[in-house]
Amino acid sequence: MFTRGFSSFLQILGKPLVSFVMSLGYFSQFVAKSVYNCFVPPYYLKLFFAQFMSIGFYSLPVVGLTTLFAGMVIAIQTYSGISEYGAENVVASVVLISVTRELAPVLSALMVAGRIGSAMAAEIGTMRVTEQIDALVTLSANPFRYLIAPRVWAAVIVMPLLVLFGDVIGIFGGYLVGVYKLDFNPANYIINTMNNLTSVAIVMGVVKAAVFGFIIAIMGCYHGYRSKGGAQGVGEATTNSVVTSSILILIFNYLITEMFFSR
């Protein structure tokens, strides 16, 4: 009786564990193939530039609005917390550090993951369930080289540019609140911002952006490539892409921050 119950317990415990290990293996193979094919010709530059425009140019409004209001909120919150301790000198530096190190990379990545990661999963998932990917293989076209490599390259290259754009807009949002709402001196605010600007903050934001871009592209392509079951499967792939990308972005945000500031 005990042996049968223990065996049943192991079966219940083992099935999810085996499923997880199999999924991890499939994902590792997918990432390895994707990275390998990013460096092997032929390179589909037309597809790359199409993805570059889709990820970069068309994401500028949402990234700009997100970082603008994030910078404005940080300025107000900082002032309300330290208004009696010479806030004019502190607000500019807090906005600068918060935007360049954390808010611009993370918020931009989350917005792009919701907008682009889901689109990648839906597009590739539709191609999978309609057997267009199988047709590519039949025509001797490598789907990793044709579909995934251009998206990965575009995301890795364009995300740092989006984050730099978000840095400028977010700092400008803090400037607007500081000067026009809190009555700070414009010249002093700009001087304090420039004095606290360091290469470490910019480099860390750019590194985070590149890693986040890789995560968004890989997760979107992976879930789309592995989707099955028609329209319902494509919908699940889209949802899973956004959720897993967002979680990994937050995890790697901590890991990269720890790497830069660990002693």
Decide: pTM greater than 0.95. no
| Residue 26 clears pLDDT 90, i.e. is over it | no
Residue 11 belongs to some domain of the structure: no
Q: Which two tokens stand for residue 188?
A: 């002093």
Q: What is the pLDDT of residue 235?
A: 85
Q: What is the pLDDT of residue 210?
A: 94
| Residue 124 clears pLDDT 60, i.e. is over it | yes
Q: What is the pLDDT of residue 246?
A: 93
Domain that holds residue 146: 45-261
d(CA 146, CA 11): 41
Least trusted range by pLDDT, from 80-84, 90-94, 216-220: 80-84
Q: pLDDT tens digits, residue range 164-205?
A: 999 999 999 999 998 888 888 888 888 888 888 888 888 999
How many folded domains does the chain comprise?
1
| Residue 241 clears pLDDT 80, i.e. is over it | yes
Residue 203 belongs to some domain of the structure: yes
